[in-house]
Amino acid sequence: MMSNECLPVAIAQYTVARDPERNLAMIDAFARDASDGGAKLLVLPEGLIARDGDDDSFAAAHAQSIDGPFVAGLRRISADHHIVLMGTVHVIPTVHDEGERPDPRVSNVFLVIRDGEIVTSYSKLHLYDAFAARESDVVRPGTVLPPVVDIDGWRLGVMTCYDLRFPETARSLAVRGADAIVVSAAWVRGDLKEHHWALLTAARAVENTCYVLACSELSSRNIGCSRIVSPMGEVVVEADDEHAGLIAANLSRERLDEARRTLPVLANRRFADPRLQ
């Protein structure tokens, strides 16, 4: 497929509600507005089904089946508005073998939905067992590297929240051809946490000469501050830590190619880790 010169994208920053139906209604409105504005991709936060800013385990406790009503609603929204949706949902595990002892924990699954169909998914590798939190108590970790998916000729890799702190994950996407990295997050507020978010999103962009599209949920618990960063680490557009809404930009193939000509770090690597290929 020939690469398009530009990819219009949007990020929806908002507070995920306790009620799944209300969340679907908000996503539907954001998808409509983004599509009307020309966006081909809408990035959503982490934990889309349900959240409570005062209860860290609420999202996992309200997990659904991948075939359940919430994901069906996301598929409908994608088809209705002709837009690709990216974000994470908490998914109830399935038992494949009759004698298998079930793990009661759920999976935190990044979905890419295009034309009403799930084109790829990814179970979060790095669980947020940091800053006194214990995501692994309720979420099982994934076991494979995140995928790279083609959207209108652009190669997009995906990561979930705490993955951002692991540069080898982003590098694995870049060496597999990612032009941009999409991060779905619920980045927790705290001392220096906003600084870490800004620093890490820019670092992942410039060290891999990729665009970074980073969406964080906005709430009393989580920072918002969603942003799009260029392959040279410049902030293209960003939201603040107070207001919900859409931010949008055009990813430029010319800008990407120029960054990689000027700063050929991917071509100049001397030691490649085959586990990241």
Active site residue 193: no
Q: Please, are residues 242 and 204 in contact by the beta-carbon 8 Å criterion?
A: no
Could you say which of 40, 135, 161, 217 is catalytic? Answer: 161
Could you say which of 124, 135, 210, 225 is catalytic? Answer: 124
Could you say which of 5, 21, 40, 46 is catalytic? Answer: 46
Q: Please, are residues 182 and 158 in contact by the beta-carbon 8 Å criterion?
A: yes
N-to-C CA span, the chain: 22
- The type of residue at 258 is E
Which residues, in sequence order, are bridge partners of residue 213? Answer: 182, 228
- Report the candidate in 36, 58, 24 with the shortest Cα–Cα distance to residue 219: 58
Using CA atoms of 145, 146, 150, 153 in order, give the dihedral in degrees to the nearest 10.
-90
Q: Are strands 180-185 and 211-216 parallel, antiparallel or unpaired?
A: parallel
Q: What's the distance, CA 189 to chain centroid?
A: 18
Active site residues: 46, 124, 161
